[in-house]
Structure 1
Amino acid sequence: MPYKKQRRTVVPMEVEQHELDDLLEDYADETLLDTALHDDLLEPSLDESSFAGGYRAKLVFEPRSYQQEALARWTEHEGRGVVVLPTGAGKTVVALMTIERTRLRTLVVVPTIELLHQWREAIVERLGIPPSKVGIVGDGHKEWRPVTVITYASAAMPTTPLSDIGLLICDEAHHLPSPSYAEIARRCSAPYRLGLTATPERADAQHRALHELLGPEVYRRAPADLAAEGHIAQYDEKRIFVSLAAEEQLRYESLMGEWKWFLASKRHLLARGGDFFGELIRRSGSDPQARRALQAHHQARMIALNAGEKLHVVQNLLGDHRKDKVIVFSEYNALVDTISARFALPAITYKTAPEERKATLDAFRDGSYSKIVTGRVLNEGVDVPDANVAIVVSGSATKREYIQRLGRVIRPK
């Protein structure tokens, strides 16, 4: 029987700017094992003897049904492929199951220093692999072991040895298709490969390269599906529209007028080749009008994202959720600093020192803090403690960011 989950709340705030949204939609699309692996633990085949890890691994808890399904689909695809699960749904567990199943020399590639240490801890504690068998490469460490966790930046270095790996696991696999990181998979000899991500799609369409680098998408579940089955918390989403102040409205309309005029007058030039925004950005390097139009659009967006009325709404929401654990998200750090100062909330941005960030998250985890405000730095790559309310003051409106932030309040208990 699935556990009954507490309902969580996500509150995104928007300025009504339907004209801008419609206009942008008109002009551009921004979304520019081998069958021997079965339920029993197997020793590597003779052809894979050089990849044998020489360790024992046993998961210390029972995986959820969808995690077992994901492993089964990966196995059916000869131990190659990408698993797509929401942030907070336990993608790491799927990877641990593949390590347990294969017992090969394994390389786990992660995007951040925080994840470097989190993954090592998870492998040791959840699989029972001795710490001496699990190493990390990055953050000043260079410990190659039968199971090694490494950052993308370290793995991408030409001198990094990748020839004796049996299982390659890429966390946040949407990073892998970038030109510098794709070589990690191309140089790696691993016959078995697993990619983990909540949002594989990339704006540059390079996510299509994941098939070549790791294998096909073998399993995907949406947040709403897992919530309906009781695996993650049920959640409510409420949109709150705010109005611009008179001065903000005047400035916004002036900037948008400049932007729209440029688009209307140069549409035939920008539409060449089908890459509207690419052409606009290229022209901005030499065309003063194009550059001013881009600046006007950016400034108008900043006015909308940082509307003063949002602070009053945040104040009311914090009062309504006085007893809840709340994370306030903002797209820009300037507004993070403003909210932190105005409401005396601990803040975490990219400028926050690692020691202070850890102390703040630990205090949020143990209940010393019930509210924090942050920017994009907590979207991925950080183990964020449970919250049951997220207030999204501003964001990029991308699917990836939405799922990442939603994952901060829907984690299973």
Structure 2
Amino acid sequence: MLPAVAEEKAVSLPSRWELTRDLVLHNWQSSCVDGWFGANKRGVVKVVTGAGKTTLALAIIERLQQTTASDLRVAIVVPTIVLLDQWYSEILKRSNLPPACIGFVGAGRSDSFEAGARIIIAVLNSASKKLAQDVQRSGISDRLLLIVDECHRAGAPEMRRVFETYSLGLSATPERETDISEEPDNGETGDSASLLPFESTVIGQELGNVVFELNYAEAIQQGILPPFSIIHYGLPLSEPESQEYKRLSREISDLQGDLQTRNRKGLGLIRWCKSQASKGDKRAARYISLLGDRKRLLYRAESRSAAVAQILQQHLGQNPEANAILFHESIDEVMSLFGTLREQGFQVVAEHSGFPDWMRARSIHLFREGIARIIVSARSLIEGFNVPAADIGIVVAASASVRQRIQTLGRLLRKNRLNEGGEKTARLFVLYTRDTVDELIYEKADWEHFIGAERNEYYRWDPFMGSVPVLTGAPPRRPPLSEDELTALALRPGDEYPGDLNQGASYSLDTQGNIRDENGIPIQPNRELRDLLVHGRRRAGRFRITPQKFLVFALEKDALGAWRGLYLGQLTSPPKSSSGSDIQASDSSATLGGDLYPLHRARGETFHVLQRDRRLIAR
């Protein structure tokens, strides 16, 4: 049970807070503390899970109170009640602060700084409004440190008032990621391959820039986290699955062409379609339905469960005492895989957020005690419970959140002991269906930078044919190159364009040789551009021009119907519209309905809706 907060006069507070007792900071933590103070006591720390972000935050609190703000208040915002408990336990364990000065918002509590709390740990959903109001009432905003754990989840408008003094964001991957199976097809149709960096997002602008970064390769190299290797298996669809996938993708592509506009692409198109579907738009509803059907088809590919069974048989055969954690992307698929493995005789339990807490706790207890050797979970494993280490990890279905999954599993894996007493580095397996949108996960992250090139192995494998995996040596796709990187490549006309296919202004060339921008407005005669198009044998079609280096590339579909770029050349200056103005690329990052507004730019007065009559507003 959480303790009550005492009145301030009844609490005996030490004048000098200690929050890192019995701890020796890693070099990266000491450097990070210095970096945060050097960044005007604001910013985001991007560090892999398990490296010690909580300890870092406690060190920052300690130094800030001892050197800058002796009357400090601290608000710690977390996404779950479980993390609230973990923060509270760590503060009690490491600090000289009395329990009565620590308050809570959420978990049935609504403590306040006004009532005497010095540190408040708040669950995000409860904190978004209550914490901001408390800070305003108590008048402590000039001496408040706001810490946002898993900061990529935060962003409620009411929180803006809390961001004004000292702030620290903590996250392993602060960039927001989306489910690739629900995104539009990549290339001239979506913006998913070029997600905004965190500092360009609204919450990033409020919390500050990334002031320190520690990736997995660096953490392993420094001995902070144990090493492991990642085995990537590209699995096939069966013939019926492949035919259905192509049918769904064709219909998705056709609808997409009808529904998207200049300012309604990528994720903006998805949001718009969901909104319109709720209003009865049949085409928008059909589009969303097709994306869901394709996602389920890929999740349920027969090769996934076959590959999982063979991986488990091999590794548990080598070491019967080993255990494995499996992640899938939906509760339905978790239960289906659980049933399949149980029928095959594996000692397996399931765990997901749809179970009551006691059932989840029991599953993890059975896994921890070795009664069950395998646990299958749907996304939620680390958020709920203290999970024991594992020898084998399998990402059964790889969504765009696969980086979080890898960091989660990397924290849980340990060196795998063999029967003969030897030892080998633990392995993490990532399964994806090849030649499908599954491969987009490799455009979203540079795996070699993220983990280390020597820790990634890429294979094609058909587990049904009894064949052994075939090493390919490279991922099926890579993140698009920047304009500077493309320029350094010295591309030649006719080469495949390895950049972002959504970057730059879009143009069309018709069969009469007329060139128009994406609004249908003709451009002024441009001999340099026309020569590039003639040399590239472009009689008609679409092409783009990048905004900085004026690289020109055509867009065309390959044999599978996926978009690809064909490099045509480089201009010395951008074309102008017939009105004489420069042509600007549509901004795929423009704020759309439903997006968070950049609150640091907001000006004006505050209004609220009257409770007695919601048709009325007042100051």
What is the TM-score with the length of structure 2 in the denominator? 0.53
Tell which deviates more after alignment, 399-408 or 95-104.
399-408
Give me the whole-angstrom Cα distance separating, in 2, the residues matched to 1:213 and 1:280: 26
Give me the whole-angstrom Cα distance separating, in 2, the residues matched to 1:136 and 1:82: 23
Tell which deviates more after alignment, 63-72 or 138-147.
138-147
Counterpart of 1:113? 81
1:57 aligns with 2:44: no
Counterpart of 1:24? none
Would the alpha carbon gap of residues 79 and 254 (structure 1) be closer, same or farther in structure 2, given more than 3 Å must change? same
Once the 2 structures are TM-superposed, how far is the Cα of residue 236 of structure 1 from its aligned partner?
Answer: 0.6
Once the 2 structures are TM-superposed, how far is the Cα of residue 371 of structure 1 from its aligned partner?
Answer: 2.0
Match for residue 291 of structure 2 among 297, 309, 332: 297
Counterpart of 1:5? none
Counterpart of 1:7? none
Tell which deviates more after alignment, 240-249 or 145-154.
240-249
Match for residue 93 of structure 1 among 51, 55, 69: 55
- Trace 1:24-173 onto structure 2 (pairs within 5 A): 56-59=17-20, 60-103=22-65, 104-144=72-112, 145-158=117-130, 160-163=133-136, 164=140, 166-173=144-151
Would the alpha carbon gap of residues 86 and 128 (structure 1) be closer, same or farther in structure 2, given more than 3 Å must change? same
Would the alpha carbon gap of residues 93 and 347 (structure 1) be closer, same or farther in structure 2, given more than 3 Å must change? same
Give me the whole-angstrom Cα distance separating, in 2, the residues matched to 1:273 and 1:384: 44
Would the alpha carbon gap of residues 371 and 246 (structure 1) be closer, same or farther in structure 2, given more than 3 Å must change? same
Give me the whole-angstrom Cα distance separating, in 2, the residues matched to 1:53 and 1:188: 25
- Trace 1:9-408 onto structure 2 (pairs within 5 A): 56-59=17-20, 60-103=22-65, 104-144=72-112, 145-158=117-130, 160-163=133-136, 164=140, 166-177=144-155, 181-184=156-159, 186-188=160-162, 191-202=165-176, 205=196, 207=198, 208-263=201-256, 266=258, 270-273=260-263, 275-279=265-269, 281-283=271-273, 285=277, 287-322=281-316, 323-344=321-342, 345-378=348-381, 380=383, 383-398=386-401, 400-408=403-411
Is the contact between residue 324 and residue 391 of structure 2 (CA under 8 Å) also seen in structure 1?
yes
Is the contact between residue 113 and residue 151 of structure 1 (CA under 8 Å) also seen in structure 2?
yes
Is the contact between residue 136 and residue 142 of structure 1 (CA under 8 Å) also seen in structure 2?
yes
SS at match of 1:89: coil
Tell which deviates more after alignment, 80-89 or 400-409.
400-409
Counterpart of 2:184? none
Unaligned runs of 5+ residues in structure 1 are: 1-51
Give me the whole-angstrom Cα distance separating, in 1, the residues matched to 2:56 and 2:284: 48
Unaligned runs of 5+ residues in structure 2 are: 1-12, 66-71, 178-194, 343-347, 416-619
RMSD in angstroms over aligned alpha carbons? Answer: 2.8
Once the 2 structures are TM-superposed, how far is the Cα of residue 206 of structure 1 from its aligned partner?
Answer: 9.1
Higher RCO (CA 8 Å, separation ≥ 6 residues) = 1
Once the 2 structures are TM-superposed, how far is the Cα of residue 363 of structure 1 from its aligned partner?
Answer: 4.2
Instruction: Give runs of ≥4 in structure 1 deviating > 6 Å.
Output: none
Is the contact between residue 198 and residue 403 of structure 1 (CA under 8 Å) also seen in structure 2?
no
One-letter amino acid of the structure 2 residue matched with residue 288 of structure 1: K
One-letter amino acid of the structure 1 residue matched with residue 39 of structure 2: H
The structure in which a higher percent of residues are helix is 1
Is the contact between residue 89 and residue 411 of structure 1 (CA under 8 Å) also seen in structure 2?
no
Give me the whole-angstrom Cα distance separating, in 1, the residues matched to 2:291 and 2:298: 11
Would the alpha carbon gap of residues 354 and 139 (structure 1) be closer, same or farther in structure 2, given more than 3 Å must change? same
Tell which deviates more after alignment, 249-258 or 164-173.
249-258
Once the 2 structures are TM-superposed, how far is the Cα of residue 382 of structure 1 from its aligned partner?
Answer: 5.0
One-letter amino acid of the structure 1 residue matched with residue 336 of structure 2: T
The count of corresponding residues between Structure 1 and Structure 2 is 354
Tell which deviates more after alignment, 215-224 or 245-254.
245-254
What is the TM-score with the length of structure 1 in the denominator? 0.77
Give me the whole-angstrom Cα distance separating, in 2, the residues matched to 1:357 and 1:258: 40
Give me the whole-angstrom Cα distance separating, in 2, the residues matched to 1:305 and 1:125: 43
Cα deviation 1:87-106 (Å, max 9, x = unaligned): 12211111111122233221
SS at match of 1:188: helix
Is the contact between residue 349 and residue 374 of structure 1 (CA under 8 Å) also seen in structure 2?
yes
Once the 2 structures are TM-superposed, how far is the Cα of residue 54 of structure 1 from its aligned partner?
Answer: 5.1
Once the 2 structures are TM-superposed, how far is the Cα of residue 380 of structure 1 from its aligned partner?
Answer: 4.6
Would the alpha carbon gap of residues 261 and 113 (structure 1) be closer, same or farther in structure 2, given more than 3 Å must change? same
Give me the whole-angstrom Cα distance separating, in 1, the residues matched to 2:85 and 2:371: 24
Is the contact between residue 86 and residue 198 of structure 1 (CA under 8 Å) also seen in structure 2?
yes
Tell which deviates more after alignment, 270-279 or 347-356.
270-279
Once the 2 structures are TM-superposed, how far is the Cα of residue 376 of structure 1 from its aligned partner?
Answer: 1.5
Counterpart of 2:509? none
The structure number with the bigger radius of gyration is: 2
Give me the whole-angstrom Cα distance separating, in 2, the residues matched to 1:256 and 1:125: 54
Give me the whole-angstrom Cα distance separating, in 1, the residues matched to 2:270 and 2:162: 38
Is the contact between residue 379 and residue 401 of structure 1 (CA under 8 Å) also seen in structure 2?
no
SS at match of 2:176: coil
Give me the whole-angstrom Cα distance separating, in 1, the residues matched to 2:25 and 2:301: 45
One-letter amino acid of the structure 2 residue matched with residue 256 of structure 1: S
Once the 2 structures are TM-superposed, how far is the Cα of residue 130 of structure 1 from its aligned partner?
Answer: 3.0
One-letter amino acid of the structure 2 residue matched with residue 149 of structure 1: I
One-letter amino acid of the structure 2 residue matched with residue 161 of structure 1: D
Cα deviation 1:79-137 (Å, max 9, x = unaligned): 21110001122111111111222332211110011111111011111334332332322
Cα deviation 1:35-92 (Å, max 9, x = unaligned): xxxxxxxxxxxxxxxxx98563241221211112111111111221110001122111
Is the contact between residue 338 and residue 349 of structure 2 (CA under 8 Å) also seen in structure 1?
yes
Cα deviation 1:313-368 (Å, max 9, x = unaligned): 11122222323231100001111001222324221111111222233334434544
Would the alpha carbon gap of residues 358 and 127 (structure 1) be closer, same or farther in structure 2, given more than 3 Å must change? farther
Give me the whole-angstrom Cα distance separating, in 2, the residues matched to 1:209 and 1:293: 29
Is the contact between residue 322 and residue 392 of structure 2 (CA under 8 Å) also seen in structure 1?
yes
Once the 2 structures are TM-superposed, how far is the Cα of residue 290 of structure 1 from its aligned partner?
Answer: 4.1
Is the contact between residue 78 and residue 149 of structure 2 (CA under 8 Å) also seen in structure 1?
yes
One-letter amino acid of the structure 2 residue matched with residue 146 of structure 1: R
Cα deviation 1:254-298 (Å, max 9, x = unaligned): 2223223334x53xx624126344236535536533432332232
Give me the whole-angstrom Cα distance separating, in 2, the residues matched to 1:280 and 1:210: 22
Would the alpha carbon gap of residues 111 and 72 (structure 1) be closer, same or farther in structure 2, given more than 3 Å must change? same
One-letter amino acid of the structure 2 residue matched with residue 231 of structure 1: I
